[in-house]
Amino acid sequence: MYSVILKASAGHAKQHPWPVLWLILAVTAAAAGLSAVLILNNAALQDYQRQSSLIPLHADLKVAGTINSVEPMTVAQHRAFYSQIRAAGFREVVAFQRENTQLTVNGDALEVTVYAVDAAALASLVSDAVPDPLGLVSVIAVSQDIAARLSADTAIALTINDQTVSLPWVSLASTQDSHATVLLDLHAFAQLNIALQPNYVVFATEYKRDIVAFLADRQLQYTPYTAEDSPIAITRSFHMSLLAMSLVMFLVCFFIVINALNLFMAGRSRMLKIFRQMGIPRTVIVRLLQVELALYALIGAVIGIFLGQLTAFLLAPSIATTLNNLFGVPVSLGELLHFPIYVPIIAICILATLISASVPIKRLASQLSHITPSTESSLAVSKALFFSLLLAGIALIGILFAGQLSMVFATVAMLLLSGVACLYWLYPTIIRLLVNVSHRTGPLIHWTFSHANVIAVHSRLACAAFFIALATHIGMTTMVDSFRSATEDWLQHRLIAEHYYYGDTGALLTVKERLDNEGIRTQERYQMNLYWQHENGGFAAQTYSYPATTEYLNGLKVEKLLPDGLNQFRAHRGLFINQQLAYRHGLDVGDTLSIAVADKTMDLTVVGIHYDFGNPDTQVLLPLNLLLQTTWTYEQAMSQAVRVMAIHTQDNIALKQYLDELGLSHERLYSRARLLEVSLAAFDQTFVITDALNLVTLLVAVFSLITSILLITNQTQNISGVLRSIGVTRMQLIASLIGQYLIIALITALCALPFGLALAYVLVKKVNVVAFQWMFPLTVDWLAILFAMVTSLVIISLFTSASILLSQSGSLKEQIQCRE
Amino acid sequence: MIEVRNLVKNIASSHRQNAQKNGIAIIDNLELLIEQGQSASVQGASGCGKTTLLHLLSGLDHPCAGTLIVAKHAIHNYDETRLDYFRRHTIGIVFQQFHLLESLNVEDNIAFTARLAGNLDPHHINNLMQQLGIADMRNQRVTKLSGGEQQRVAIARALAHKPRVVFADEPTGNLDEHTSSAVSELLFSTCRALNTTLLLVTHSNDVAALADDAYHMTSGQLTKITPSLQKS
């Protein structure tokens, strides 16, 4: 019995391959998108964990300063605290420092990350049996790529803050890590006499509560470590948005799967009814159907994983560059073969296919039991409106109150589902209106509108997929365009000078002196990491000097500004903060921030909140004189601080000549146009992957709608024949059929427009704020949206027209089945 | 009036050109004459070419040779555009499977052909519905009707634009005996009342007996059945 059914099913699939092929193709696309993103995210996660595993601790807290004194802790204070806490018996506390710096190997400079750790403390913590597991007390450990360049007589030196010191160790060990890293002992590092504060003290302990109490007793300020500092936390928003895009693609593909399943079942029902008449039990038919569908899902998932793996290989370099540009997190994404995730993806695909098939199978089972399936009624239409409003209400609550990224993504999902329900209400409503309006027109137009509703019912899942893909496309495109436009505008305002020179303090000051002598105006920017107090609590923030001249203040793009904000800034009574700082610590214009200056506290008003796109850090802008008052001495400020200098001259040749004379490289000299170009290129690269996923999803949905329409055309071929037999001309019929499909596609596209724009609003005003703590004005590029909508409609009409022309080109007699 | 002379139609085989020259002749020098307002029935074994004859007469298929004149239209010479016009204005077709437009209601289905031909006569349509007993169902969906009711709608549709000729291919093939008889009588009486020529293909002797002339088709040709044979 089983073999007979299987043989008949195989024969049917061979005879009617399109629903099966479309089903496999949709599962393939779903699995490909999901596996590519999961492979990339997994590879990145492993890489972050490997980076963290250099220090085999689970960091919990870091010391950021003290409560009663707003000054950052000095080296001496850190050391005193470290001695105290270890003396108190907390062996789990380990001092740790991380610096991004330059390593010179036989004269070649390399950008590296130096990890200095209290090796002895670490050794006792990791295992009593294995003292100094990394051998750091006597050995410097370097990553594989650096180890490959070294030999016994290699001279290596570290450069930090213009100080270059030779590393005295002769013993070297290679770590498993593939990044450019150097690992050494903190005490040995301190002996190098590099003027640095320990920037972290890391805790990893089950006695965290006791340590927190210890800190409170000594009025020490601490902050969670993992919230801000681990690469996993820093890049979480990026990986989540990548995963969200792949889930949208998965969802769209499974709408297509459901659509293909409906067509598949419709094709099979006649044969299965015959099986029932032959006495084959309903359960056997249903089980074998499920096995067959699971097999198709398996085939699709395996091909999809292969394609996803290929895509991951192709995208890995681009992702690594993006993560480095956007978050400053180095990631190699070297290990891209992740066999353990293949099995869950296959299982998800099979399970999702079977769940998707449950409704059509149930309907079929009812038919096989001679139970009439429920038909669509006006109640279903009003239900769709009710669900649409309900889901839109939930989405609105999410927009107003969601504070976590996962909640915001759930809001986005609610919004899209609300759109789908709205679409199901719109089809019959609009078409009924068109039918009523067209009643007095020609009979063919009237029939065109009436029949469009029949097609809409049969293709609504494909339409839902098209809707989600188009709304997501409109939302993402509007968000990215708004972001790009805001960034470009911001950069054009912010880049006031004709040239910029980046470098360390020494080089910049040398260049400044020379340019001053030549009468060329320069403007250097100083940066300190300062600890600020607000009524909500204290926080460390990058604090920059900013010129109080009208030219520079006009160049500052602000989200909010107090009415007399510029005057207060000029009068040294106010400061600017970036959006990241405002959103992260709940600050607004008019708030007061305090900082310790010598023996007194200086209070400054937040006069404006400025845009600072692409910066993961919080930032405060102060007039230079005010910044210098907050530090100990001008020299200390200088030694910390200058990162960039604006040069107000257009003479590029002369500038390069001066740099040559000073023996400095041209590489760090950027013209305004070049800097703008580099920044926007980095921006575009950031969104290239999500854009690609977005476009693929839209194309998949468009072609699913086309296939759905073509299959329906095929099934309704008889109606075409009848219309021709009563005198409807070929061209009238073709125009009518294309008109029906375009009405459906147009309603879908028009519905996608407001939901796409609502999605863009959520992405700009909510997702960006929660994920990156910045917001920008929403600018709608109607031309781009119109282009996406028209292109989708043109593709749909071209393919359907071609198919309809082909289907109507045969003999008229063959199109009309007068008998069955 | 329908006039057919020396009509030849070969069945297309796997090789189209050979079929035209050497294929099996399903219609072979067929001759037929039906006067305006008269009715005729065609019977014959399955596959003998009855439906092919209807397709040829209604311009849905092209003859290999011969003359086809339907209501003064020499359709054997017509191109596709003229055939569309011919079907739209001159003839009506009733199918075995009804083939109503499911997305339209009863009245819209019936008026469809008249509106398409540009000669909508609401009084005529109303009369048709009254005669066929479907006036009360004018606003109903056709999918809600029984087989007999659907076929009555199909007959009304075929007559709504006042065609000169109606072709019916097994119009009662899907109906029970009682309904079949009622629908057939309605079809014949309505055509007669409108002076419309009716050519009907059927397997039923009872239905065939209602026609003015009855033919039997065999070997690609029509043979007129005498009234005594027809009754038997």
Distance of residue A725 Cα from the nearest chain B Cα, in angstroms: 7
Backbone angles phi, psi at A424, to 5 degrees: -65, -25
In a domain, A181, yes or no: yes
What is the domain extent for residue A637?
493-669
Question: Is pLDDT above 90 for A813?
Answer: no
Contacts of B216 (CB under 8 A, 6+ apart): B42, B43, B44, B222, B223, B225
Mean pLDDT of B35-49: 90
In B, minimum Cα distance to A457 occurs at B103
Nearest-neighbour CA in chain A from B87: distance (Å): 5
| Nearest partner of A708 among A465, A471, A468, judged by Cα | A465
pLDDT at B109 over 80: yes
**Statement: residue A634 has pLDDT above 60:** no
Q: What is the mean pLDDT of residues A77-91?
A: 73
Residue A711 tokens read as 């299959």
Compute the nearest-CA separation of B49 from chain A (Å): 13
Question: Which residues in chain B have their CB less than 8 angstroms from residue A726's CB?
Answer: 87-88, 92-93, 112-113, 116, 157
Per-residue pLDDT, averaged over A654-682, amounts to 83
Nearest to A813 among B55, B84, B104 (CB): B55
Residue A253 falls inside a structural domain: yes
Question: Which is higher by pLDDT, A234 or A778?
Answer: A778
Residue A393 falls within a domain, yes or no?
no
pLDDT above 60: residue A68: no
In this structure, the answer to whether residues A82 and A160 fall within a common structural domain is yes
State the Cα–Cα distance between residues B184 and B167, nearest whole angstrom.
Answer: 13
pLDDT at A293 over 80: yes
The pLDDT, as a whole number, for residue A588 is 92
Mean pLDDT within B117-127: 89
CB contact under 8 A, B169 and A819: yes
Chain B residues in contact with A810 by the CB 8 A cut-off are none
Q: Are residues A661 and A516 in the same domain?
A: yes
* This prediction's pTM: 0.71
**How confident is residue B15, by pLDDT bands cut at 50, 70 and 90?**
very low
Q: Which of A520, A515, A576, A528 minimizes the C-alpha distance to A548?
A: A576
- Average the pLDDT over each of A148-157, A265-274, A404-413, B166-175 and give the range with the smallest value: A148-157
Q: How confident is the model at residue A501 (pLDDT cuts 50, 70, 90)?
A: confident
Confidence at residue A56, expressed as pLDDT on a 0 to 100 scale: 46
Please say if the pLDDT value at position A715 is more than 80: no
Residue B115 CB contacts under 8 Å (≥ 6 apart), including other chains: A442, A443
Among A225, A255, A279, residue at a domain's last position? A225
Quick count: other Cβ atoms within 10 Å of Cβ A74? Answer: 12
Residues of A in contact with B170 (CB under 8 A): 818-819
Residue of B64, B95, B172 to mutate, interface with A, max A Cβ within 10 Å? B95
Q: Pick from B81, B95, B116: which is nearest to A443 by CB?
A: B116
Inter-chain touch B104–A446, beta carbons under 8 Å? yes
Please tell me which residue of chain B has the smallest CA distance to A454: B103
CB contact under 8 A, A451 and B89: no
pLDDT at A178: 55
Q: What is the DSSP string of A139-156?
A: -EEE-HHHHTT--TT--E
Q: How far apart are CA A508 and CA A530, in angstroms?
A: 22
Confirm if A43 and A334 have CB atoms less than 8 A apart. Answer: yes
Cα angle for residues A113, A116, A122 (degrees, 5° grid): 130
Provide the pLDDT confidence category of residue A179 given band limits of 50, 70 and 90: low
Same domain, A660 and A782: no
For chain A, report the end-to-end CA distance as a whole number of angstroms. 29
- Residues of chain B in contact with residue A443, where contact means CB-CB under 8 angstroms, are 108, 111-112, 115-116
Assign A143 a pLDDT band (cuts: 50, 70, 90).
low
Buried b (16+ CB within 10 A) or exposed e, B105-118: bbbbbbbbbbbbbe
* Residue A812 to chain B, least CA–CA distance (Å): 6
Q: Are A585 and A651 found together in one domain?
A: yes
Residue A11: how many other CB atoms lie within 10 Å: 11
Whether A269 is in a domain gets the answer: yes
What pLDDT is recorded for position B187? 87
B101 vs A contacts (CB less than 8 Å) = 447, 450-451, 719, 722-723
Residues A102 and A36 in one domain: no
- Nearest CB to A726; choose among B93, B104, B170: B93
When mean pLDDT is compared over A2-11, A159-168, A551-560, the highest value belongs to A551-560
**Could you tell me if A255 and A214 lie in one domain?**
no
Whether the per-residue pLDDT at B41 is higher than 70: the answer is: yes
**Chain B: closest CA distance from residue A385 (Å):** 23
Chain B residues whose CB is inside 8 A of the A812 CB are 60-61
Q: Are A646 and A542 members of one domain?
A: yes
Put simply, the answer to whether A722 touches B99 (Cβ < 8 Å) is yes
Query: Are residues A660 and A678 both part of a single domain?
Result: no
Interchain pair A725, B87: CB under 8 A: yes
Please name the residue of chain A whose CA is at the shortest distance from the CA of residue B84. A727
More confident site: A672 or A221? A672
Which range in A116-130, A159-173, A399-413 is most confidently predicted, on average pLDDT? A399-413
A185 CB neighbour count, 10 Å cutoff: 23
On the question of pLDDT at A302 being above 50, the answer is yes
Residue A53 has pLDDT above 60, yes or no: no
* Residue of B84, B111, B170 with shortest CB distance to A819: B170
Q: List residues of B whose CB lies inside 8 A of any A CB.
A: 51, 54-55, 58, 60-61, 80-81, 84-89, 92-93, 95-97, 99, 101-104, 108, 111-113, 115-117, 157, 169-170, 173
Name the band, by pLDDT with cuts 50, 70 and 90, for residue B184: confident
**Torsion-angle region of B66 (φ positive above 0: left; ψ -120 to 50: alpha; else: beta):** left
Please identify which residue in the block is written with the tokens 């600018």. Answer: A779
Cα gap A123→A120, rounded to integer Å = 5
Chain CA centroid to CA A699, Å: 21
| Total beta-carbon pairs less than 8 A apart between chain A and chain B | 89
Distance from CA of A442 to the nearest CA of B (A): 7
pLDDT at A635 > cutoff 50: no
| Nearest Cα residue in chain A from B173 | A819
Give the pLDDT score at A301: 93
Q: Which amino acid is at A660?
A: D
When the pLDDT of each residue in chain B is averaged and rounded to a whole number, the result is 85
pLDDT reading at A206 higher than 80: no
Distance in Å, alpha carbon of B228 to nearest chain A alpha carbon: 30
pLDDT digits (tens, 9 = 90+) for A551-570: 888 888 899 999 999 999 99
Please give the single-letter amino acid code of residue A334: G
Q: pLDDT confidence of A753, banded at 50, 70, 90?
A: very high
CB distance A813–B61 less than 8 Å?
yes
Which pLDDT does position A686 carry in this prediction?
67
Of the candidates B80, B55, B77, the residue with the CA atom closest to the CA atom of residue B65: B77
> What is the identity of the amino acid at A201?
V
Question: Is 80 exceeded by the pLDDT of residue A782?
Answer: yes
Q: Find the CB nearest B87 among A446, A451, A726.
A: A726
Mean pLDDT of A57-70: 52
Which residues in A have their CB inside 8 Å of a CB on B? Answer: 442-444, 446-447, 450-451, 453-454, 718-719, 722-730, 811-813, 816-820
pLDDT(B102) > 50: yes
pLDDT given at position A719: 81
Contact across the interface for A727 and B88, Cβ inside 8 Å? yes
pLDDT, residue B198, reads 93
**Are both A327 and A306 inside the same structural domain?**
yes
pLDDT, greater one: B13 or A101? A101
User: What pLDDT is attached to residue A226?
Assistant: 45
Between chains, do B96 and A818 touch, taking CB under 8 Å as contact? yes
Q: Are A224 and A61 in contact (CB under 8 A)?
A: yes
Residues A116 and A18 in one domain: no
Mean pLDDT of A773-791: 88
Q: Do A454 and B88 touch (CB under 8 A)?
A: no
Considering only alpha carbons, which residue of chain B is nearest residue A724? Answer: B84
Per-residue pLDDT band for A228 (boundaries 50, 70, 90) equals very low
Distance CA A164, CA A367 (A): 82
Q: Which of A505, A500, A547, A467 is nearest to A672 (CA)?
A: A500
Write the pLDDT tens digit of every residue in A456-487.
Answer: 877 777 788 888 888 988 998 898 889 888 88
Q: Are B208 and B170 in contact (CB under 8 A)?
A: no
The whole-number average pLDDT for the span B123-127 is: 90
| pLDDT, tens only, A316-341 | 887 877 777 666 666 666 666 777 78
A323 and A300 in one domain? yes
Nearest-Cα residue of chain B relative to residue A453:
B103
Higher-confidence residue: A575 or A742?
A575
All residues of chain A having their beta carbon less than 8 Å from the beta carbon of residue B54 are: 818
Which domains are assigned to chain B? 37-62+77-231 (3.40.50.300)
Query: What is the per-residue pLDDT across B188-212, written as a single tens digit (0 to 9) for each?
Result: 988 898 899 999 998 888 889 899 9
Chain A nearest CA to B112, separation (Å): 6
Of B85, B108, B113, Cβ closest to residue A446: B108
Look at residue B88 and give its three-state secondary structure.
helix
Distance CA A579, CA A582 (A): 5
What tokens does B150 get? Answer: 């659907």
Residue B59: closest C-alpha in chain A: A725
Q: Does a structural domain hold residue A285? A: yes
CB contact under 8 A, A817 and B97: yes
Whether A49 and A105 share a structural domain: no
Residues of B in contact with A730 (CB under 8 A): 80, 84
Number of domains making up chain A = 4
A110 part of a folded domain: yes
| pLDDT score at A63 | 62
DSSP character at residue A93: E
Output the average pLDDT for chain A. Answer: 77
Among A126, A100, A122, A125, smallest CA distance to A113 is for A100
Residue at A379 is within a domain = no
Asked, for residue A797, whether it belongs to a domain, the answer is: yes
Most B CBs within 10 Å, among A712, A720, A726, to test the B interface: A726
- The pLDDT score that the predictor gives to residue A169 is 53
**Distance (Å, rounded) from C-alpha A594 to C-alpha A597?**
9
Question: Residues of B with CB below 8 A from A451's CB?
Answer: 101, 103
pLDDT range class, residue B74, cuts 50, 70, 90:
very high
β-sheet with A644-648: strand ranges across: A521-525, A644-648, A499-502, A669-671
What DSSP string runs through B145-183?
A: S-HHHHHHHHHHHHHTT--SEEEEESTTTTS-HHHHHHH
DSSP track, A48-73: HHHHHHTTTS---EEEEEESS--SPP
Rounded Cα distance between A104 and A111, Å, is 9
Give B103's contacts in chain A (Cβ within 8 Å): 447, 450-451, 453-454
> Which of A618, A643, A669 is where one domain is finished?
A669
Select from B84, B85, B96, B172 the residue whose CB has the most chain A CBs within 10 Å, as the one to mutate to test that interface. B84
**pLDDT tens-place string over residues A87-142:** 777 766 777 776 767 777 777 777 777 777 777 776 666 554 444 445 555 556 66
Q: Which one of A669, A690, A722 terminates a domain?
A: A669
